[in-house]
């Protein structure tokens, strides 16, 4: 290894010491593991969920705020709280819900899924980008899905449409806000072992690597995108699916 390569490897940091990060969906699955990993990486994490949050991490480093990510007042309050004492550096938006398989669902189900999965992303961009910009730049990562790429195997219409919307939203915001120093990306998971996927089991044979992913696989992708190591990546949909969409 040359001296230059050695220095580049030394600079490849996934640490977020002294940074404030918002993680949504932190009571379960991907969001919970993401909140824990970001605390391990040195960040102060404002953890959001509609349900009580008990991540396996010391409470001093994790500040829970319970509420609905589809509610603009809640999102505004979360962003203000997370940036109050430490400059806000990143938002990892994992909260989401699934719908039934067909077009026979009531319109209220469609609206709830779109609000929770997509409108919430718009709200975190709207209120989060100015705060992150003020703090000197950072990253927003929205969790999409392979369902937003290929329609999915078990998801319903609102879920697939909401996730395709998330992918479009990050590309729009990444281009628009690149000059402000804020990167905006999505991570598109395949089947990950969480309570959500347990409710809609996709056959393992559809994943070429032969098994479901772990929430940590998605948390690591989000950490890369939010850390200095991923600072030149913006507007991408990072597929983490064990080969499902090959």
Q: Which stretch binds ligand NAD (CB under 6 A): 2-10, 24-32, 81-89, 227-235?
A: 24-32
Q: Which stretch binds ligand NAD (CB under 6 A): 15-23, 48-56, 75-83, 228-236?
A: 48-56
Choice from 125, 149, 192, 237 touching ligand NAD (CB under 6 A): 192
Report whether 146 contacts 88 (CB < 8 A). Answer: no
Beta bridge partners of 23: 47, 92
Contacting ligand NAD within 112-141 (CB under 6 A): 116
Q: How many Å apart are CA 213 and CA 136, to the nearest integer?
A: 34
Nearest by Cα to 48 from 29, 31, 72, 61: 31
Q: Does 25 bind ligand NAD (CB under 6 A)?
A: yes
Active site residue 224: no
Helix residue ranges per DSSP H, the chain: 3-11, 29-40, 72-82, 107-114, 120-134, 147-150, 157-177, 195-198, 215-226
Q: How many Å apart are CA 218 and CA 187, to the nearest integer?
A: 7
Q: How many Å apart are CA 210 and CA 203, to the nearest integer?
A: 10
Contacting ligand NAD within 84-103 (CB under 6 A): 94-97
Q: Nearest distance from residue 136's CB to ligand NAD, in Å?
A: 28
Comparing CB distances to ligand NAD, the nearer of 40 and 133 is 40
Q: Nearest distance from residue 178's CB to ligand NAD, in Å?
A: 24
The counts of H helices and E strands in the chain are 9, 7
Q: Nearest distance from residue 233's CB to ligand NAD, in Å?
A: 19
| Ramachandran assignment for 18, one of left (phi > 0), alpha (psi -120 to 50 degrees), beta (any other) | left
Choice from 6, 13, 51, 204 touching ligand NAD (CB under 6 A): 51
Q: Does 197 bind ligand NAD (CB under 6 A)?
A: yes
Q: Does 219 bind ligand NAD (CB under 6 A)?
A: no
Choice from 23, 143, 170, 173 touching ligand NAD (CB under 6 A): 143
Nearest by Cα to 65 from 57, 92, 79: 79
Comparing CB distances to ligand NAD, the nearer of 25 and 135 is 25
Q: Does 189 bind ligand NAD (CB under 6 A)?
A: yes
Q: Does 191 bind ligand NAD (CB under 6 A)?
A: yes
Q: How many Å apart are CA 20 and CA 33, to the nearest integer?
A: 17
For tokens 């948390």, the residue is 219
The residues carrying an active-site annotation are 159
Q: Which residues bind ligand NAD (CB under 6 A)?
A: 25, 27-31, 49-51, 68-70, 94-97, 116, 143, 145, 189, 191-192, 194-197
């Amino acid at each position: 290894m040359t001296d230059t390569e050695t220095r580049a490897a030394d600079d490849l940091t996934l640490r977020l010491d002294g940074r404030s990060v918002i993680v949504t969906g932190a009571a379960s699955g991907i969001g919970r593991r993401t909140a824990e990993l970001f605390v391990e990486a040195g960040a102060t994490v404002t953890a959001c969920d509609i349900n009580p949050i008990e991540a396996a991490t010391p409470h001093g480093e994790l500040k829970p705020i319970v509420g609905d990510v589809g509610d603009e007042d809640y999102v505004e309050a979360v962003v203000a709280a997370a940036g109050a004492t430490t400059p806000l550096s990143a938002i990892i938006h994992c909260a989401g819900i699934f719908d039934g398989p067909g077009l026979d669902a009531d319109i209220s189900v469609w609206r709830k899924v779109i609000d929770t999965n997509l409108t919430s992303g718009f709200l975190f961009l709207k209120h989060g980008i100015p705060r992150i910009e003020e703090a000197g730049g950072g990253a927003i990562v929205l969790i999409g899905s392979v369902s937003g790429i290929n329609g999915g195997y078990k998801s319903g219409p609102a879920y697939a449409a909401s996730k395709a919307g998330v992918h479009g939203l990050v590309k729009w915001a990444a281009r628009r806000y690149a000059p402000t120093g804020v990167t905006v990306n999505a991570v598109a998971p395949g089947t990950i072992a969480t309570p959500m996927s347990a409710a809609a089991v996709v056959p393992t044979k559809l994943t070429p690597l032969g098994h479901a992913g772990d929430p940590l696989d998605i948390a690591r992708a989000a950490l890369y995108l939010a850390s200095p190591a991923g600072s030149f990546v913006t507007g991408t949909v990072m597929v983490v699916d064990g080969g499902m969409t090959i």
